Amino acid sequence: MDLGALASAALPSFIASAVEFVEATTIILAVGVTRGWRAPLYGAIAAALTLAIIIAVLGVTIVTVVPEHALKAFVGAVLLEGTEVAFIVIAFGAGGAAALNAAIVGAIAAGLLVIALGVALRAPLTMVPENWMKFGVGAILSAFGVFWFAEGLGAEWPGDALAIPMVLAVFLAASWIAARMLAAIVPHGAEVAAKRV
């Protein structure tokens, strides 16, 4: 297999995996900055180990044995980002052993780059207000969750993954409208507290 063929597996794997690693790193950073680093790091390690076991047991057969809609529904609910990276590697590495190795290298390179950026951006992110951090991460995760869940149910999005920013825009617009409505209802400076029974 020539260098061009290897690059055609490694580069798309790198780009697509980088997107997934950014999503996973965003979640870890948001939880770590607001709640402490121990739980999100342990959770990430546990998810990576679980995913490694699934891939070791099922390997490439996972995409040939399990129906696609079931995979999408599974990916939308559990081990989301890591499972997507595994599927990306399998898809771009389908051209043979050399292509699979190139796709693996592309995904690993993306992971290392994004993790390094996450570590470097950790300090500036502590300056982002906690509520804005939660809001941003929540909107992004909701958009991806709706996209994958709908695909798992058989829906087809116009533009495929290009529909995700539109879904995100809908979540952001709805949230902005809801916040304005609540601001109009609740007097300025009022505090809402839960009543203990």
pLDDT in tens, 146-179: 887 888 788 888 887 788 889 999 999 998 898 8
> Could you give the CA distance from residue 152 to residue 16 in angstroms, rounded to a whole number?
20
Among 74-78, 79-83, 88-92, 93-97, which stretch is predicted with the lowest mean pLDDT? 74-78
* Other beta carbons less than 10 A from residue 143's beta carbon: 20
Please give the Cα distance from 52 to 24 (Å, whole number).
Answer: 16
Count the domains in the chain.
1
Q: Tell me if 31 is assigned to some domain.
A: yes
**126 within some domain:** yes
Q: Does 52 fall in a domain?
A: yes
Q: Is the pLDDT of residue 180 over 90?
A: no
* pLDDT value of position 169: 93
Q: Record the pTM.
A: 0.56
Tell me, yes or no, whether 191 lies in a domain.
Answer: no
Q: Which of residues 98 and 128 earns the better pLDDT score?
A: 98
The 10s digit of each residue's pLDDT in 45-84 is 887 787 777 777 766 666 566 666 666 565 555 766 777 7
Domain that holds residue 172: 3-185
